[in-house]
Chains A and B, each alone.
Chain A
Amino acid sequence: MAYPYVHEKEVQIVSRGWGKPRTRTIDGWRELDGYVGFRKALEMGRAAVIEEVKKSGLRGRGGAGFPTGLKWSFMPKEKRGPHYLCCNADESEPGTFKDRELLRWTPHQLVEGCLIGALAIQADHVYIYCRGEFFEANQVLARAVEEAYAAGLAGANILGSGVSIDVTVHQGAGAYICGEETALMSSLEGRRGLPRVKPPFPAAVGAFGRPTTINNVETLCAIPHIVRNGGEWYRQWGTEKSPGTKLFCVSGHVRRPGNYELPLGFPMNELIYDVCGGFEEGRKLKAVIPGGASVPILSADECLACCLDYEGVQKSGSMLGCASVIVMDDRTNIVKQVRRMVEFFAHESCGQCTPCREGTTWLSRILRRIEGGKGTEEDLETLLALGTQMTATTICVLSDSAAVPVASSIQKFRDDYLALIRRGEAVGVV
């Protein structure tokens, strides 16, 4: 069984081995040079590992794109009690489905990355916080952890090195907000999954009140390869500021949606029309959301010159986020799509902060009214004003995220809104 489709332009690093059940086993992973990186890391020592990761320029794949090596170096050098590494496997951003595949097909890749990360930050315990709905992934991962323990790669005194690292898979209970790092820690501790105020930052006061680093699945999956091959090796792909490869989750109206591992800086045009096979006959591009539901929507014109790296997408007016490219052709009813996204955020808002709790629902209700042909032009101004009131006023960024698609779609697709408001007719049907 081959993984559904691999394009020739892909550079398979973290996606290598997908689609082969054997990769899920420890032996299968070893055949792909598995755990070589971890052994090497044990020999190198933690400072050299962090140096190597810094050298690679690897940036966090969860969405913010923060340099991983730098994040690790924020952890206290002197250890005065337990440190923790949390792997954020609570992938639930609408349009994102890369971590699920990493968890399903290459669980040992993640375990190895976790072990190296734990070594680097002197963590005693790795918690892999896995999204509750990923039943298969949870089972596969749990089996991989068991195998790692059996092989002496996790647990006490790993491979006689004196280093002890425990790995626990924690199954979430289905809240989007638990993908926010501080909410993830609260949930892990057994509390309500509520984001916490920063500062203190997790590297100072994290899970269980101890220094903690939280890394995304894809970030940690890239670590074994970087350690095994060196930081310079990783820089042969991507751009100066965004080196390496990235999984792009392409969904929407393209012929071949799916996960594609491509070098960062890959042109969006090429992704849509070449790698993903373009649109159905007679259809053309209308809009793209390049980084999951919480980034600004791009119009077709803006997509033309867009290069998919952190800086490139920003230059085009959006964010790369977790590289969930949602492609919409000219059949799309933008208002409906935005309303669905906002309703998602309203449903997932934790309810702590007033602007988010009240604002997300308020936005969704106005959008629903507009979609039903009962909107007014005044509503558009209200939507924009509410969006401003919801931005940068809350503990976490869920509130900002809900405001983003509204503001950017009104800005770029105002005519779609006006068509509904003035004539009660939607532009597009899906």
Chain B
Amino acid sequence: MSESATKPMVTATLDGRTVTVPKGTTILQAAETVGVWVPHYCYHPGLSSPAQCRLCLVEVQGAPKLAPSCVTELQEGQVVHTESPKAKEMRQGVLEFYLANHPLDCPVCDQSGECKLQDYVHAEGRVHGRSREPKRGFGRDDYGRDVLFYGDRCGRCTRCVRFMDEVAKDPRLTVVERGNRSVIDTFFEEGLQGSAFAGNIVDICPVGALVSKDFLHKARAWDLDHSPSVCPNCSQGCNIDLHVRDDVVQRLRPRANLEVNHHWMCDYGRHRYEWMNRQDRIEVPVVGSSADGVALEWGLALRQVADRLANAPQPVMAVASASSSNEDLGALAHLVRALGGGEIVFRSERAEKEIPLPGFPTLTRRYDLVPNRMGAEILGMTRVGKDDGTGGLEGWAAHRGTLLVLGDELRDVGVDFGPSAGLYVYLGSYPTPAASSAHAVLPVTTFAEGEGTFANVEGRVQRFWPGVRPPGLARPAWLVLAALVERLGGAAVPESAEAAFLRVAELAPELQGLTYEAIGTQGALLNEPVALPGSRS
């Protein structure tokens, strides 16, 4: 805000609309502020603009030639037409050139349905191309890592080359040859091997030239539901979309957030989504020990668990997970408080090193490989155990009080966990031997199935939305825990994740004043955020 107040502004007319933007704004960006989308390939908001795709040319009244709107700054009083006959005719011409050597293999192309060439040609292209000449062929190339190159589909926009040069600062791609023979290629044989961010070039490719091996032929773009989410694979909290078909997460795609991840995400995070599709799930509440446990519907299960909790043996100890949302963790903290208080610990995996994105170091694969360590810590939970996410619970075997577990699979602990506990309640998504001694096992949803918030390494609270339907009777942990609190005489069950979030603020002053609306899709900083090296201030 203060920036625009001090910067000189220019006012111009764009397609009959008046636009006022800071001086130095390009015509293309200015057009977007009034909802005019100028077609383009080579321009990308996160990269430099070579103005070579020639699709974003617009008519500037008084200028002899059409101007590339991605690099032409809007001038005071200018009259710009993006839809004039001249501009449209030119676009139709350029699109015809794009198709002259394009294989038109949309039926087998992964990009089909989210392809800019398809979109633009469908909107403005000629009904029939005039080319009668044989098409030039390049074939395919394996660039290494997850990336395949279909040369025939390539429009030579060079976004991939510029991403590797400017953002990854790891120039592994280049244009070889000249003219119609020019093609994107790798240097030497290693290709993209060793690059930690190469997956982004698949996202930014406007056509189907660069495709992901992992996603190849898995789903058609139009069958995918996109739900906004936050990458759960490290504490950076890159904004992402879950692309889901038939309740199966098919891929993760970065979602723009200029403060967190710009338009990018790392390959580490991108390729860790298979666990969201795990089919071995706890689907029904089971109350009773493993030998005589009974599957119950929720009402009965909650009543029985609440009855036992009413006389919970002391002391109360709980194991939480830094992969749980603030809402879940807050509800757990409320329950522990309702039981008279107790220690809550969590274990989390930590990497040996961070992996920064050189061109945008705010985006770094962080040490903490969990999304919500910050949230757990502001709720007073203590991290225990080793950096591989194990250990720290050695003394708990002999615990005779009440034991609560939320989310941690306790893989390293095994069947020996909690046999002597007076009361052991396990809330989780996946069956685990460590729950075999539990007096109650309650199914909860995963992050992909629920709504909630994470606080990232910087202290930015970010929302995620449900993308997948939960299996069986799994319910959000905050709902289950709040129901127990209510049955113990506490506050009524919150009606929504948002209400659950507002209740978390009672325990953490850092969250006070934040609402789901304020967090929105781009997140909001905690009251005391952490200054990160390399972050934008």
CB of A236 within 8 Å of the partner chain: no
Q: Known: A389-B90, A393-B93. Contact between A362 and B100, CB under 8 A?
A: yes
Which B residues lie at the A interface, using CB under 8 A? 50-55, 57, 64-66, 68, 71, 90, 93-94, 96-98, 100-101, 130-134, 136, 155-156, 175, 177-182
CB of A394 within 8 Å of the partner chain: yes
Q: Known: A353-B52, A389-B94, A395-B51. Contact between A358 and B100, CB under 8 A?
A: yes
Q: Smallest CB-CB separation from A356: which chain B residue? A: B179
Residues of A contacting B: mostly: helix
Asked if A365 and B133 make an inter-chain contact with CB atoms under 8 angstroms apart, the answer reads yes
In chain A, residues 361-381, which have Cβ atoms closer than 8 Å to a Cβ of chain B?
A: 361-362, 365-366, 369
In chain A, residues 338-369, which have Cβ atoms closer than 8 Å to a Cβ of chain B?
A: 346-362, 365-366, 369
Contacts A/B (CB < 8 Å), 15 sampled:
A197-B50, A197-B51, A349-B178, A350-B178, A351-B181, A352-B50, A354-B156, A357-B156, A357-B179, A362-B97, A366-B133, A369-B132, A385-B130, A389-B96, A394-B54
Q: Known: A353-B54, A354-B54. Contact between A197 and B71, CB under 8 A?
A: yes
Asked if A348 and B178 make an inter-chain contact with CB atoms under 8 angstroms apart, the answer reads yes
Contacts of B100 in A (CB 8 A): 358, 362
Contacts of A385 in B (CB 8 A): 130
Asked if A360 and B98 make an inter-chain contact with CB atoms under 8 angstroms apart, the answer reads no
Contacts of B136 in A (CB 8 A): 361
Q: Known: A351-B156, A362-B131. Contact between A393 and B57, CB under 8 A?
A: yes
Residue among A347, A365, A382 with the highest chain B CB neighbour number at 10 A: A365
Which A residues lie at the B interface, using CB under 8 A? 175, 177, 192, 197, 346-362, 365-366, 369, 382, 385-386, 388-389, 392-395
Tally of A-B Cβ pairs under 8 angstroms: 94
Asked if B179 and A349 make an inter-chain contact with CB atoms under 8 angstroms apart, the answer reads yes
Given known contacts A177-B178, A358-B98, what 16 new A-B pairs fall within 8 Å (CB)?
A: A348-B178, A350-B179, A351-B178, A351-B182, A354-B94, A355-B93, A357-B182, A358-B97, A358-B100, A358-B180, A365-B133, A366-B132, A389-B90, A389-B94, A393-B54, A395-B52
Asked if B180 and A357 make an inter-chain contact with CB atoms under 8 angstroms apart, the answer reads yes
Closest 10 CB pairs of A and B: A389-B93, A351-B182, A349-B179, A358-B97, A361-B180, A352-B52, A365-B133, A197-B51, A351-B179, A392-B65
Cβ distance A341 to chain B, nearest Cβ, rounded Å = 15
CA of A352 to CA of B156 in the docked complex: distance in angstroms?
A: 7
CA of A274 to CA of B182 in the docked complex: distance in angstroms?
A: 46
CA of A170 to CA of B34 in the docked complex: distance in angstroms?
A: 49
Cβ distance B73 to chain A, nearest Cβ, rounded Å = 9
Cβ distance A104 to chain B, nearest Cβ, rounded Å = 28
Contacts of B96 in A (CB 8 A): 389
Asked if A393 and B94 make an inter-chain contact with CB atoms under 8 angstroms apart, the answer reads yes
Contacts of A175 in B (CB 8 A): 178
CA of A269 to CA of B112 in the docked complex: distance in angstroms?
A: 60
CA of A371 to CA of B132 in the docked complex: distance in angstroms?
A: 15
CA of A241 to CA of B96 in the docked complex: distance in angstroms?
A: 42
CA of A385 to CA of B92 in the docked complex: distance in angstroms?
A: 12
Asked if B98 and A392 make an inter-chain contact with CB atoms under 8 angstroms apart, the answer reads no
CA of A353 to CA of B98 in the docked complex: distance in angstroms?
A: 10
Contacts of A360 in B (CB 8 A): 179-180
CA of A192 to CA of B179 in the docked complex: distance in angstroms?
A: 12
Asked if A393 and B90 make an inter-chain contact with CB atoms under 8 angstroms apart, the answer reads yes
Cβ distance B258 to chain A, nearest Cβ, rounded Å = 25
CA of A394 to CA of B94 in the docked complex: distance in angstroms?
A: 10
Contacts of A347 in B (CB 8 A): 178-179
CA of A25 to CA of B1 in the docked complex: distance in angstroms?
A: 67
CA of A266 to CA of B177 in the docked complex: distance in angstroms?
A: 42
Contacts of B71 in A (CB 8 A): 197
CA of A389 to CA of B98 in the docked complex: distance in angstroms?
A: 12
Contacts of A394 in B (CB 8 A): 54
Q: Smallest CB-CB separation from A361: which chain B residue? A: B180
CA of A350 to CA of B65 in the docked complex: distance in angstroms?
A: 21
